[in-house]
Amino acid sequence: IRDEVNGYNKNLFCIPKHYEEDLERVFIPHGLILDRTERLARDIMQDMGSHHIVALCVLKGGYKFFADLLDHIKALNQNGDKSVPITVDFVTVKSYC
């Protein structure tokens, strides 16, 4: 996203009431995030070829993105010409800031 992009008016989206006062604009719509996540899954499948995929999720903040990404990879695995083995694991990271 370029610095001069002002985002989208929040009135174009369904915003939960408890966020309405805190939110000014929406910079990246959810649909765009889902589309890019699906594209990332396709790129991973193409780049990995038939190699085993080891997927590692950093817990707390990354679980939703990780789950969406794996759903797309699994769908490609089921509907594609090839099936790639996937191993899933999780880690927790502690910040020392």
pLDDT in tens, 44-54: 999 988 889 99
Q: What's the whole-number mean pLDDT along residues 59-84?
A: 87
The pLDDT of residue 1 is 63
Residue 4, pLDDT > 70, answer: yes
Q: Check residue 26 and give left, alpha or beta (phi > 0: left; psi -120 to 50: alpha).
A: beta
pTM of the model: 0.73
Other beta carbons within 10 angstroms of residue 70's beta carbon come to 17
The domains of the chain, with CATH numbers, are 8-92 (3.40.50.2020)
6/10 Cα distance (integer angstroms):
11
Residue 72 tokens, joined:
């797309």
Residue 2, pLDDT > 80, answer: no
Q: What's the whole-number mean pLDDT along residues 30-45?
A: 92
Concatenating the DSSP letter of every residue in 45-95 gives HHHHTTSPEEEEEETTTSHHHHHHHHHHHHHHHHHSS----EEEEEE----
Q: Which residue has the higher pLDDT, 1 or 35?
A: 35
